[in-house]
């Protein structure tokens, strides 16, 4: 296509049926606002400019999509689709071609729009689809030769026209100069007093004799969301697409219907993902990674051979080499594990670095810590890293052995090869190759009797 492309996205819908305080365009699919999916697609078409027409909640929508190169247009009054396009036209040059998209159809494939661009016939083209139940949609009217002659709304259609299954999607492409002229002539003489974009079809037909139509091969690609039920259906379609992509790349999904992808996942060979796993943000899974049932991962980079056992929650975690995590572990941002590490059940880490072969197998909290190689952390060990105002660091050097129920009061350093006895509270640096114990001598009081509750008479 020789003309510069301008894309107008109509995103002013309030979504009252969502029953939400958030604008409709910020309702999420795959963990992201609906509008962001469509913006990804629009930007991939390499237009000269993308214009987004939004209404109430414009500032919130702009903030949520601030990373996109967009010309934001405010539609103060919502007076129909034609009125919405009119708001964006002052920023569109006459020599451009204009593609109008709907903000609540976030999953339309880029390939379908590319096909529409390739087939574009000046001055007007529209995207159509066939539905088993077209109730509520405007029907496409064609002459005996198959040429589109107009669109009739459902409420205005007769009995025979109601049988037509080809409908208007609301997505059009037009020469900017012609579109501007048609928009200036549409009226609002209808029950709602609104300016409807499809009203330009009859003008285009009268002036040019032909309206070009492109039919979508799969109507589900144009599925929209006006309420929570439809939003859930969009989510299912998106997740089906993401699961199919993972399996096509070689990932084994135990049950594709029970994996949720809310970001971008890159996976090596022989990766296995069990049921009810949630993957958020940017995820990298090396060869042979296994993710157990119920695990939640966000912004993680897991090296080849790493195993995440059931019901573990990882955020901002990096492994360098094969590691063993969980079950029921919580690894928070800044956790870095070297090869051969084990972080076991009910262990929480935060901003903690582990050297090769180090283990914390049970019931520990390790925060703001640098842990050397082949360190053993006993059950119940905690780093007391927060003094109520500031965080402090704990350093445990190579080959140290930390006994169960140890409290390490930071800032503190445990020397190489040191052993700390169970039940010790460490408040000063521990020298290397030594045994450190701080607990009271055990004693027994003979004849002691446990207090008893008084019996009620």
Residues forming the active site: 362
Q: Determine whether 63 is exposed, middle or buried from the number of CB atoms within 10 Å of its CB (0-12, 13-18, 19+).
A: exposed
Task: For residue 388, give the 3-state DSSP assignment.
Answer: coil
Strand 49-54 to 124-130 pairing: unpaired
Task: For residue 320, give the 3-state DSSP assignment.
Answer: strand
Task: For residue 227, give the 3-state DSSP assignment.
Answer: coil
What is the spatial distance between Cα 122 and Cα 23, in angstroms, rounded to a whole number? 35
Provide, for the chain, the percentages of residues in helix, strand and coil under a 3-state DSSP scheme, each rounded to the nearest 5. 20, 35, 45
**Pair 92, 6: CB distance under 8 Å:** yes
Half-sphere exposure of residue 228, counting CA atoms within 13 Å on the CB side? 4
Strand ranges, E, within 388-437: 394-396, 401-402, 407-409, 412-414, 419-420, 425-426, 435-436
Tokens of 18: 């969502």
What is the spatial distance between Cα 328 and Cα 312, in angstroms, rounded to a whole number? 4
């Amino acid at each position: 296509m020789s003309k510069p492309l301008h894309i107008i996205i109509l995103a002013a819908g309030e979504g009252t049926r969502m029953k939400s305080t958030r604008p409709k365009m910020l309702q999420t699919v795959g963990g992201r606002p609906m509008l962001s999916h469509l913006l990804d697609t629009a930007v991939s078409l390499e237009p000269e400019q993308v214009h987004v027409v939004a209404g109430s909640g414009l500032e919130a929508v702009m903030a949520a999509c601030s990373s996109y190169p967009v010309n934001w247009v405010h539609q103060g009054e919502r007076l129909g689709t034609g009125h919405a396009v009119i708001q964006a036209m002052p920023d569109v040059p006459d020599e451009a071609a204009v593609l109008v998209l709907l903000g609540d159809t976030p999953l339309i494939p880029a390939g379908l729009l590319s096909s529409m661009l390739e087939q574009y016939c000046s001055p007007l083209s529209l995207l159509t689809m066939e539905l088993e139940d077209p109730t509520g949609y405007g029907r496409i009217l064609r002459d005996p030769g198959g040429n589109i002659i107009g669109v009739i709304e459902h409420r205005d259609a007769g009995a025979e026209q109601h049988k037509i299954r080809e409908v208007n999607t609301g997505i059009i492409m037009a020469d900017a100069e012609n579109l501007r002229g048609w928009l200036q002539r549409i009226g609002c003489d209808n029950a709602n007093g609104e300016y409807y974009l499809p009203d330009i079809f009859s003008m285009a037909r009268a002036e040019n004799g032909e309206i070009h139509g492109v039919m979508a091969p799969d109507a589900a690609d144009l599925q929209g969301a006006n309420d929570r039920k439809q939003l859930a259906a969009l989510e299912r379609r998106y997740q089906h697409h993401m699961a199919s992509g993972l399996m096509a790349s070689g990932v084994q999904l135990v049950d594709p219907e029970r994996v949720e992808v809310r970001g971008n996942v890159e996976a090596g060979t022989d990766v296995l993902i069990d049921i009810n796993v949630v993957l958020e943000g940017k995820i990298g899974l090396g060869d042979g990674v296994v993710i157990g049932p119920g695990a939640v991962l966000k912004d993680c980079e897991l090296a080849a051979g790493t195993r995440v056992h059931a019901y573990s929650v990882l955020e901002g975690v990096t492994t360098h080499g094969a590691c063993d995590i969980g079950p029921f572990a919580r690894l928070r941002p800044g956790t870095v594990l070297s090869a051969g590490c084990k972080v076991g059940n009910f262990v929480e880490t935060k901003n903690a670095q582990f050297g090769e072969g180090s283990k914390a197998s049970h019931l520990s909290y390790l925060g703001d810590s640098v842990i050397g190689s082949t360190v053993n952390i006993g059950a119940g060990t905690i780093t007391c890293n927060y003094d109520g105002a500031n965080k402090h660091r704990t350093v445990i050097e190579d080959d140290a052995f930390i006994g169960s129920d140890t409290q390490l009061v930071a800032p503190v350093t445990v020397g190489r090869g040191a052993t700390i006895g169970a039940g010790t509270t460490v408040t000063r640096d521990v020298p290397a190759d030594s045994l450190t114990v701080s607990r009271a001598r055990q004693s027994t009081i003979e004849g002691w009797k446990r207090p008893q509750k008084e019996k009620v008479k």
